Amino acid sequence: MSNVTRTHTNQRMSQIVTHGDTIYLAGQVGNPGDSVAGQTTTCLEKVEALLAEAGSDATRILQCVIWLADMADFAEMNAVWDAWVPEGHAPARACGEAKLATPELKVELIVVAAKG
């Protein structure tokens, strides 16, 4: 596994794991207590920063899994997502409802991207 690189690593997880030309990001969350739109914006800002650090960007996202604490927030999250995704570069995506780490969290994004 010499071609595996882990960045921002602690005992529990790494924020970035790179294997060959594929980048895996840990789940990114927003600020607890912010609105769904606010948390989504923060998640996407974190994704952008981590991808840049790993040598990629939003146009190279292969897959995004989105967890919402409540599917009733789907439209609010999508409004932010749709404005953010670069035209012509929509990744494979899944979105579901899940109980997140704390009740104040409403959105979590998990991204896989290609190096660019």
| pLDDT tens figures, 54-71 | 999 999 999 999 999 999
| pLDDT tens figures, 10-68 | 999 999 999 999 999 999 999 999 999 999 999 999 999 999 999 999 999 999 999 99
pLDDT at position 116: 85
Task: Report the sign of the C-alpha dihedral through residues 109, 97, 79, 30, in that order.
Answer: negative
Distance of alpha carbon 30 from alpha carbon 23, whole angstroms: 21
pLDDT at position 89: 97
pLDDT band for 108, please (50, 70, 90 cuts): very high
**pTM (2 d.p.):** 0.94
Structurally, how many domains does the chain consist of?
1
**CATH number of the domain within which 76 lies:** 3.30.1330.40
What is the span of the domain harbouring residue 32? 4-114
